[in-house]
C-alpha cells in the first residue's frame, strides 16, 4: 500500500478519535449528592432590590404604560453609582447595554434629559443601540461579544422582545417551542456571566385573566417558563400594581406611581397596604360627603367599586378598627359624625329627627298604644298619622244566629239601601220578586219556601 494512502488513513483515525472525545457522554456533569454538598457557590446577585435578580427577566405591560421609561431609568441608575431608582432603591452598578429598538437617538436624548434633570454629565457605562440583529441571525453572538468587551457586564435591557426574537421556526415547531427558543439563548448567556441580568419588554394580552396576572403575558407558557423572573404591570385604582414572581426572588405585589413631571416611577410600598389605605379613604370620604348612613350598594356606587365581596371584607376591618360604625341593617356611618343622627329601624325612644319629644308625666305608666305611637313617630317623623288605640272587631258578614232579621248578609258589604233594577217591560213573576217582602230589608222575603213558578205551581200542591 502506498505511503500516502496509509497517511490518509491515520489522519482519518485521528479525526474520528477527536470527534469521539469531543462528544459528551451522559457521565459528563454527573454529580452525587455528597459531592454537591461540598461545593460552594456564590449567592445570587440581586441587581435591583425586590425586582430584578441575575438571569433573564420579563417586564410585561400594556402599550403606552411607561415600560420604556421604567427600563431607561433603571439602566441609568445601574450605570451611574450616584443615582437611585424607583424612589429609594439603589441597584448594583456596572456596565449596561440598552437596546431601544422602538426608539431613535433623538427621542432617547430627550428622555434621558428628562430623567437626568440637572445632572451635568451622563454616564459612559451606559451604551445604547437602536438596531440589533435577531438572536438566531447573529444577535445573540453580538450580545456575547459586547459582554466580553466591557469590564463588568451587569445589565442588558432589550426593548422589545418581538424586535429580536427568532421568526417562525417552521411548520413542525409548536408555539410553545418557538417562545421558549426566543429567550433560551439569552438564559444560557446569562449563566456564563455571573451577576448579569438580561431583561425583555413585552406586552400583555387584550383579554385579561381573573385568576393569575402572569397568564396575561403575551405568548404561550413557554415564554414565562423559560424566564427566571416575571414582572407584570397593571393599572389599579388610578395607580400601577406591579406583580413580581421568580425563581430567585420572593413573590411580591407592589404599588407604584408615575410622575409625569420627572417621567420617573416610584414604588410606594406593598400593594395590599397602599390600595387598602386608598380604598378606606374613598369610603370615609363618601360617608362624609353623604352626611347620612349609606348601604353597601350605595358605598359601591360612591367609590366606583364593581365587586361586593372585597368591600364587605374591608368594611368589616374598618368596623373592627373603629373607622366606621353600623347604624342599622346593612347601613354604615362615621363614628361620632352627623350621619349617626339617623335612627336604627325598630328603635323605640326619642327620635334624632325630633329632638324634643312630647313630655310624658309618668313614663312608668306608658300605655301600649302610646308606645306604639311613639315608635311610629321614630320611623315616620313627628307629623306621621297615629294608629288608633282600639281597632274594632271586623264584622262577620255571613254570621247567622237563627234570626234572619239579625243577619248582616250582603248589606254589610254593599250597604243597607237597595236600588231596584230598572224595569225592562217584561215584568217579573211575583214569586221571584223579593223586593215585596215584609221584613225590615225590602229585598229579604219572609217566605223561605222555594219559588218554582207561577201561583198554583208549587210543591205545596202535592199535599
- The residues pairing with 244 across neighbouring beta strands, listed in sequence order, are 231, 252
- Summary count for the chain: helices (H), strands (E): 12, 14
Q: Could you tell me which of 271, 269, 283 has the C-alpha nearest to residue 316? A: 283
pLDDT at 205: 86
pLDDT at 182: 84
Q: What is the pLDDT of residues 130-162, one digit of tens each?
A: 999 998 899 999 999 999 999 999 999 999 999
pLDDT at 16: 57
Taking 70 as the pLDDT cut, the residues of the chain under it are: 1-23, 169-171, 210, 337-463
**Domain limits, CATH 3.40.50.300, in the chain:** 46-250
Looking at the domain that runs over 275-338, which CATH code has it been given?
1.10.10.10
Distances (CA, A) of 156 to 57, 99, 226: 10, 8, 17
pLDDT at 311: 86
Distances (CA, A) of 234 to 6, 67, 223, 316: 72, 11, 19, 27
pLDDT at 362: 42
**Domain limits, CATH 1.10.10.10, in the chain:** 275-338
Which helix (H) or strand (E) covers residue 295, if one does?
strand 294-295
pLDDT at 262: 92
C-beta of residue 218 within 8 angstroms of C-beta of residue 178 = no
Q: What is the pLDDT of residues 32-43, one digit of tens each?
A: 999 999 999 888
Looking at the domain that runs over 46-250, which CATH code has it been given?
3.40.50.300
Dihedral sign for Cα 52, 58, 61, 63, please.
positive
3-state secondary structure string, 256-280? EEEECCCCEEEEEEEHHHHHHHHHH
Q: Could you tell me which of 1, 457, 10, 76 has the C-alpha nearest to residue 265? A: 76
Distances (CA, A) of 83 to 10, 79, 192, 223: 64, 9, 28, 32
pLDDT at 61: 93
Measured at the CA of 355, the angle between CA 351 and CA 357, to 5 degrees, comes to 70
C-beta of residue 397 within 8 angstroms of C-beta of residue 410 = yes
Amino acid at each position: 500500500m502506498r505511503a500516502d494512502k496509509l497517511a490518509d488513513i491515520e489522519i482519518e483515525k485521528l479525526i474520528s478519535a477527536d470527534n469521539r472525545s469531543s462528544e459528551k457522554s451522559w457521565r459528563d456533569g454527573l454529580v452525587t449528592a455528597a459531592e454537591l454538598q461540598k461545593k460552594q457557590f456564590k449567592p445570587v446577585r440581586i441587581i435591583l432590590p425586590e425586582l430584578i435578580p441575575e438571569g433573564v427577566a420579563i417586564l410585561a405591560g400594556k402599550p403606552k404604560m411607561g415600560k420604556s421609561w421604567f427600563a431607561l431609568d433603571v439602566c441609568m441608575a445601574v450605570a451611574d453609582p450616584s443615582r437611585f431608582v424607583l424612589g429609594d432603591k439603589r441597584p448594583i452598578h456596572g456596565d449596561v447595554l440598552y437596546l431601544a429598538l422602538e426608539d431613535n437617538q433623538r427621542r432617547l436624548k430627550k428622555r434621558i434629559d428628562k430623567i437626568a434633570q440637572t445632572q451635568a454629565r451622563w454616564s459612559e457605562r451606559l451604551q445604547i443601540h437602536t438596531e440589533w440583529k435577531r438572536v438566531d441571525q447573529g444577535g445573540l453572538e453580538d450580545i456575547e461579544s459586547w459582554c466580553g468587551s466591557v469590564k463588568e457586564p451587569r445589565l442588558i435591557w432589550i426593548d422589545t422582545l418581538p424586535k429580536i426574537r427568532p421568526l417562525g421556526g417552521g411548520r413542525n415547531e409548536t408555539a410553545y417551542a418557538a417562545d421558549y427558543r426566543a429567550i433560551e439563548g439569552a438564559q444560557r448567556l446569562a449563566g456564563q456571566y455571573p451577576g448579569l441580568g438580561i431583561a425583555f419588554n413585552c406586552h400583555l394580552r387584550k383579554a385579561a385573566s381573573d385568576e393569575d396576572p402572569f397568564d396575561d403575558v403575551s405568548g404561550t407558557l413557554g415564554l414565562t417558563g423559560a424566564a427566571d423572573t416575571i414582572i407584570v404591570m397593571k393599572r389599579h385604582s388610578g395607580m400601577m400594581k406591579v406583580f413580581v414572581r421568580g425563581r430567585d426572588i420572593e413573590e411580591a405585589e407592589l404599588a407604584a406611581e408615575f410622575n409625569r413631571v420627572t417621567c420617573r416611577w416610584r414604588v410606594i410600598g406593598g400593594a395590599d397596604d397602599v390600595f387598602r389605605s386608598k380604598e378606606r379613604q374613598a369610603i370615609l370620604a363618601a360617608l362624609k360627603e353623604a352626611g347620612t348612613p349609606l348601604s353597601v350598594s350605595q358605598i359601591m356606587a360612591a367609590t366606583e367599586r364593581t365587586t361586593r365581596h372585597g368591600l364587605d371584607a374591608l368594611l368589616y376591618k374598618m368596623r373592627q378598627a373603629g373607622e366606621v360604625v353600623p347604624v342599622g341593617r346593612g347601613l354604615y356611618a362615621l363614628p361620632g359624625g352627623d350621619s349617626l343622627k339617623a335612627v336604627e329601624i325598630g328603635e323605640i325612644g326619642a327620635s334624632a329627627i325630633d329632638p324634643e319629644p312630647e313630655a310624658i308625666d309618668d313614663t312608668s305608666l306608658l300605655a301600649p298604644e302610646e308606645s306604639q305611637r311613639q315608635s311610629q313617630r321614630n320611623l315616620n317623623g313627628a307629623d306621621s298619622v297615629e294608629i288608633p288605640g282600639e281597632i274594632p272587631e271586623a264584622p262577620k258578614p255571613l254570621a247567622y244566629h237563627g234570626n234572619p232579621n239579625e243577619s248582616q248578609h250582603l248589606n254589610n258589604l254593599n250597604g243597607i239601601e237597595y236600588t231596584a233594577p230598572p224595569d225592562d217591560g217584561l215584568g217579573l213573576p211575583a214569586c221571584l220578586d223579593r223586593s215585596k217582602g215584609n221584613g225590615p230589608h225590602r229585598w229579604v222575603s219572609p217566605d223561605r219556601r222555594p219559588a218554582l213558578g207561577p201561583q198554583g205551581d208549587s210543591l205545596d200542591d202535592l199535599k
